[in-house]
Each structure stands twice: as structure tokens, then as C-alpha cells.
Amino acid sequence: MTQETNDLLEFTEEDPTASLASSQRWNILIVDDEPDVHAVTKLALKSMQIEGRELAFFHAFSAAEAMTILEDGHDFAVALVDVVMEQENSGLELVHHIRDILGNHAIRVILRTGQPGYAPEIDTLRQYDINDYKTKTELTQVRLFSAITIAIRSYAQIRQLESARRGLGLILTAATELGKPTGLNRFASGIVTQLCALLEIGEEGLVCAAEASCSAASVLAAAGSYSDWIGLPLKDIPEPHIRDSLELTLQTRQNSFGSGACLFFPGARERVMAAYVDVPRLLDEGELGLLRIFCSNISVAYENLQLYETIKDLAYVDTLVKLPNRNAFLTSIDSHQSEQNTVALVDLDGFSDINSILDDSFGDLVLQAVAQRLRGVFSDKTCVSRISSDLFGLHGPTEDVTPERISSIFSVPFAIGNGEPLRLSATSGLVLLHASDRLTSAVEIMKNAGAALKQAKRTQRGKSIRYQADLADAARDRMHLLSRLRTAFSTNRLQLHYQPLVNLRDGRIVGAECLLRWMTEDGSFVPPDRIIPLAEQSGLMVPIGEWVLRTALKWRASLKDRVEETFRVAINVSHAQFCEPDFVPMLMDALTGSGLAGHHIELELTESVAVENLDMIADKLSALRSRDISVAMDDFGTGYSSLGILQRLHLNRVKIDRSFVSGPLPEVEPYGIAKTIVVLAKQLRLKTTAEGIETEGQRQMLLETGCEEGQGYLFSRPVDENAFLQFLEQDGGKSQG
């Protein structure tokens, strides 16, 4: 190696361009045991230039020394190798070492020998890819010159092929690597890495992304000394030459080359990218070709990435309000680790009315306005999403997701389109998440929030309720009870009890109210107050109600010869049952089947029926009237209906709620409300029945007010069929008239 150093020094003295890096010269290795041959060769080739590059000489005086030099990793274009050196076949041994041990297939080898007798076999020449074989005497200056020129050219070609192959391999890996769905930022920084690897330069570069035009372009990824520029708008890039070449590339949609290489990547959806890397040298044709292939491959990967993002958007974003959807919301909850978080479900009140009274597109605008306000009010740490129709989800820090903040959103009316300001309210259910909840699944947490929301909807519309475990217990109990009720109904374990309706003046039994009873396996009764709401909510009330009606009619028919002809059965009809479209036909069918007349029954409706949809009610009631079926308003005074409505609907009777009869009474004017109801009802020609008469005094009082009829423990509790028959018999004379 000392030879090499001396040699370079020699160059420095002789040639001012010798300071060029050896990569810009062709490195020639001369291997020969005769020092004269070295000197002569160098002299012959000294001022030679091939393809614009000079030659640099390295000298080895034995095969062993040559091996050491070669192992140092210099990029040699040609080795001029003597065949016979320390041994007869040292030269060939060296070539074998170069090709088979070092795996260097690029270096061109010219064998030289002093004695023609040592010429190797033609097969050996082929096997070791030896360019030329000459006797030393044959190698005149001219011949040497042309042999070296041919060897260097073929070396350059091999190198170019190798680098193209390597480049294509890299592009293939890059396209595969970048084709993985990693997100835009990692994709962009991947481009810089792969591009620099391809050009074998240090990682110095950046990537800009823009929407079709370069006006809104900004730096998406940057490496090396440009790292600080990430996020910077393109127009603010401090280096004018980099900014200009990126702008030019984005505008012309073409690669541009100046102080660096600037590549253009068209994408799907009008989103484009440009990458800039510093290149400290001129790129040759081969490299430019590789860059074109790189661009087209990476553009495909970029397009795929955008398609993937679109698909991801569809899976995780609600397209109407542009918020994360239910999937994204569940993912957000699942990512909850140790921080104290709150999950809230926010449901708009009366949204279905907005949709049906106004129209769907107005409904869409309302949802968008609510979504926008929700997103504006909560911090970025809170995931605001739309779960379904008018149900929104919030998941974020507990100090952010509060009932106050939720209600603040609805305190100001919404301006939708050009219409009147719209007042909206929402009901919400909240769940507080602790670190210990992190093993609870998101679906379970949503269920709990849903339970709180349901409870709030039932009891405090427009407000928030926090989930508590006992709330869930109550819900579970209800579900359990409901499934037992279903079984009881399907196995005929429901019964009717009957409570006499009595003429207050003479005590005659004028009828009976049918009351539902469910006796459980252990002989206890579940009160109707628990059964009815449960059955109403689950849809079970309709079939149960029909059963009650048919059973009551059958019972009344069975009493034919035991009671007065006017004896009526009062049947309670629930809201859900009455609103069923088939209710009236079903009733008519049952009545006809029973052989009874319309006046044998009276239906008892609760006030909740009479507050909504008056037209539908009026139609049904008039159908009932036409069959002489009378209708009473039950529990009157506890709801919102006025006597005026009762008259408009042509009801027949008012049942005064027992709270005005036997409940705790005010000291001033104890039966005041009951009296007022009786007086007003009389004026409106409505009959009255007082419920809950427990004492003789109450009977007297009602009688004096003018109430004709009543029911209550004073006369009898509700009793079963047999007990009622006994009661009738005791009462014999009176009930028979």
C-alpha cells in the first residue's frame, strides 16, 4: 500500500487534477513481480483519459499483496495480472480469488505472461471471465491502450447494469414497503428514505403534499437538516432554490432537476406530492431512468394509500356530519388506558318529529348543526362522534365531558338554513371510566351509558343522568321480570280479579272492574303497576290486553242469569293497546263472539291516551259509540286532560282518582277537588265513579256531592271469580235488583 501512497504523491506533482477523488478516476491494479513491468505500464498509460476520466494506478508485486489491496474494497476497473509470480499459477489463483472468493464480477482482468507456454486453457479464460490474454511482448503501448480502453468500457457497462439492477430492486422494495397502509406522514418520510437509498446519498430531503394546485401545499415529511420544516407551508420554506423547484414541480406536474432532484407524484382524489432531495452530483441517464421508474411505482403506491384512506374514512367517518362514527367511537373507548375519562351518549329530544313534520333534508341540516356545535365546544382531547341517527357519542377527559357543557350546547337556538331559530334539547347518559375499567369492553361501556340515557329519557328528558351500577341492576331486574312475565302469559298463569262497582245510594252492585293479576310460583302477586309498564315497553301489552278483554267478556257472558241485564264489566285499556290500528276490529270481533251487547262493557282509558293524537282517538271512540260501548276516563285528575277534552271526545264517564277520595287529604276543604270534579262533570253530562272509597264517611260525602257510583275496599277488594260469585250471592237481593 505504500506504493499506492507514493504513486498518488507522484500524481500530485505531475498533474493538478490528481486531487480528484479516486471515484472520479478509473482505478487500475497492476500485479507483477517485475518492478520494470510496473514502471513501463504506467509510463505507457500515464496521460491516458477514458470517457473523460483519468487513470489511477495501484501496484502489487505478488498475488498475495494484490489480494490484500483488493480486500481493502477499492473500486478497481481493471487488473493487469502476471500469470507466473511467486508460483507458476499465482495469477490464475488470484483471478479465482477475485471471482469466486471476493465475488467481484465487475473488475476486468487482463492476463499477461512472459512465456507463451504458460497460456491458460481457453475454458479457464471463459470460466474466470478474463478479458484478454497477452504475452508481455505483445503489449505494445498502442495495444495496451486499446486493451485497457475496451476493458474499462466493458467495466463501466457492467457497473451500470449492476446499479440499474440494484436500483430496480430498491424500487421494488420501496414500492412494497410504501405500499403498506401506514398513513400519509410515514409514507412521505418513507419516500425520502427510499429515494436517498436509490441515489446512494445521505438522507437530506423533504416531501410536500398539496390539493391539485400548489397553493395550499405544506411540508409533510423532512429528513436531515430539513427536519425542522415539517408542517411548514410551502411558501414559507426559507431556501428559495428548494421552494422554487418544489413549486415548479407541483405546477408543471413534472420532475425537475437543479441543485437537487425534485420528483412529482400524482395521486388519486386530486392530491399530489413532490419530493426534493439534495443530489451533490449530476445524475446520469441511467439514474434519471431509474427515477422515472421510481416515480411511477411510488405514484401507484400513493394512489393505493389514498384509496385505503378513503376506505378507512368510509369505515370510520360518518359521511353526513363528518364526525367519527360508531366504529371509531368504540376504538376511542378501547384505547382508554389509565386516565380518568367520561363517555356520554347524547340523544336529541323529539328528533323524529322534526324529521316527520319538516323533512329529512331539514333533519340532516339539524344533525350537521348539532355536530358542528358539539365539535366546537369540546377540546381536541374529546372524541366527538355520531353513533346513529340522532345519537351522538362523547369520549374524553372527565373535566371536559360534563352535563353542564352538554346542556350549554342546547341553551342557544340553532339557525338552520334561513328558517326560524330552532330550539333543541337533548338527553344524555354518562359513564365515568376509571383505570380499573380498562378491561371492560367498549361495547359494555356503551351499554351502560345507554342504560343511563334510557333512564334519563324516562324520568328527566332534557337532562343528564350518570350511570350507576344499581341502574344497571334495575335494568337487569326488569329484563328478568319481563322474561318471567312472558312465560307466565304463555302458560296461562295470568288471571283477572274483579272489584264490584257499587251504587252509592242503595249499595247495589252495578258492575265490576276487571283487574289483572299475576300469581308467581311462590303464590305471591306481582302488582299490575309493575306488570303494565313493563308489558307496554316490550310490546307484550297488546296480546295481554286482548286476553284480558276476551276473558272479561267470557266472564260477563257466564254471569248472564246471575246479574242484572245492565251489569257492566269495566275493562282497562292501556295506551299502547288503544293505539294499535287493529284495536277496534279486534274488540268488535270479541264482542260479537261473546254474544254480549255493547252496553255490557265499559272501557277505561287513562289520561295519557287523551293528550296525543286527538283525531285518531276521536275516530276510534266514535266507532265504539256506534256499538253502544261506553268509555270512562280513569284516574281523572292525575294527568293533564281537561274536562273540556272529555266532553269533546264524547266520553261517558269520569273516574275520580282515589288520591282525591282516600289519599292524604288537605286540612282546608278536604274533599274539595273530588267535589269540584263531580260538579263540573254533572254540568258536562258526564257520569262519575269514585275510586278508593274505604270508609262510610267517604261514601256519605260523595253521595252528598252528587256522585252516583263508587268502588273501594269499603265494599270489596278485587277478588277472584269464585269469591265474586259468593259476594254476588250474599248481596243477592241487591244485585238482582
Q: Which range of residues in 7-15, 100-108, 438-446, 603-611 is near Mg ion by CB under 5 A? A: 603-611
Taking the complex as a whole, how short is the minimal distance between the CB of residue 528 and ligand C2E, in angstroms? 4
Q: Which of residues 527-586 bind Mg ion (CB under 5 A)?
A: 572
635 binds Mg ion (CB under 5 A): yes
- DSSP β-bridge partners for residue 602: 570, 630
711 binds ligand C2E (CB under 6 A): yes
Listed in order, strand segments (DSSP E) in 472-522 are 494-503, 509-519
Instruction: Tell me which of 127, 468, 662, 676 binds ligand C2E, using CB under 6 A.
Output: 662
Binding-residue pattern over the window 683 to 722 for Mg ion, x denoting contact by CB under 5 A: --------x-------------------------------
Taking the complex as a whole, how short is the minimal distance between the CB of residue 358 and ligand C2E, in angstroms? 34
Whole-angstrom distance, CA of residue 351 vs CA of residue 367 = 9
The amino acid present at 362, given as its one-letter code, is: F
Other beta carbons within 10 angstroms of residue 374's beta carbon come to 23
The amino acid present at 151, given as its one-letter code, is: A
Q: Which range of residues in 193-201, 388-396, 599-607, 646-654 is near Mg ion by CB under 5 A? A: 599-607
- C-beta of 32 vs 691, nearer to Mg ion: 691
- C-beta of 633 vs 686, nearer to ligand C2E: 633
Sign of CA dihedral 283, 284, 287, 289: positive
Instruction: Tell me which of 573, 587, 621, 654 binds ligand C2E, using CB under 6 A.
Output: 573
694 interacts with, out of Mg ion, ligand C2E, none, CB within 5 to 8 A per kind: ligand C2E
For 68-84, give one letter per residue: b (16+ CB within 10 A) or e. Answer: ebbeeeeebbbbbbbbb
- C-beta of 451 vs 541, nearer to ligand C2E: 541
607 binds Mg ion (CB under 5 A): no
- C-beta of 91 vs 718, nearer to ligand C2E: 718
Instruction: Tell me which of 205, 267, 637, 692 binds ligand C2E, using CB under 6 A.
Output: 692
634 binds Mg ion (CB under 5 A): yes
Taking the complex as a whole, how short is the minimal distance between the CB of residue 391 and ligand C2E, in angstroms? 31
Whole-angstrom distance, CA of residue 203 vs CA of residue 719 = 93
- C-beta of 318 vs 634, nearer to Mg ion: 634
Residue 2, C-beta contacts closer than 8 angstroms, at least 6 positions apart: none
- DSSP β-bridge partners for residue 153: none
Taking the complex as a whole, how short is the minimal distance between the CB of residue 600 and ligand C2E, in angstroms? 17
Taking the complex as a whole, how short is the minimal distance between the CB of residue 635 and Mg ion, in angstroms? 4
Q: Give yes or no for a contact between 60 and 90, defined as CB atoms under 8 angstroms apart.
A: no
Whole-angstrom distance, CA of residue 351 vs CA of residue 70 = 83
Residue tagged 470460466 (cell numbers): 127
Residue 244, C-beta contacts closer than 8 angstroms, at least 6 positions apart: none
Listed in order, strand segments (DSSP E) in 61-189 are 76-82, 108-113, 132-135
Other beta carbons within 10 angstroms of residue 553's beta carbon come to 22
54 binds Mg ion (CB under 5 A): no
Total chain residues near Mg ion (CB under 5 A): 5
Segment (H or E) for 737: none
Report which DSSP code applies to 665: P
- C-beta of 303 vs 721, nearer to ligand C2E: 721
Q: Give yes or no for a contact between 686 and 647, defined as CB atoms under 8 angstroms apart.
A: yes
Q: Which of residues 527-556 bind ligand C2E (CB under 6 A)?
A: 527-529, 532, 545, 548
Taking the complex as a whole, how short is the minimal distance between the CB of residue 726 and ligand C2E, in angstroms? 18
Residue tagged 390539493 (cell numbers): 211
The footprint of Mg ion (CB under 5 A) covers 572, 604, 634-635, 691
The footprint of ligand C2E (CB under 6 A) covers 499, 515-516, 527-529, 532, 545, 548, 572-574, 604, 634-635, 658, 662, 691-694, 711-713, 718
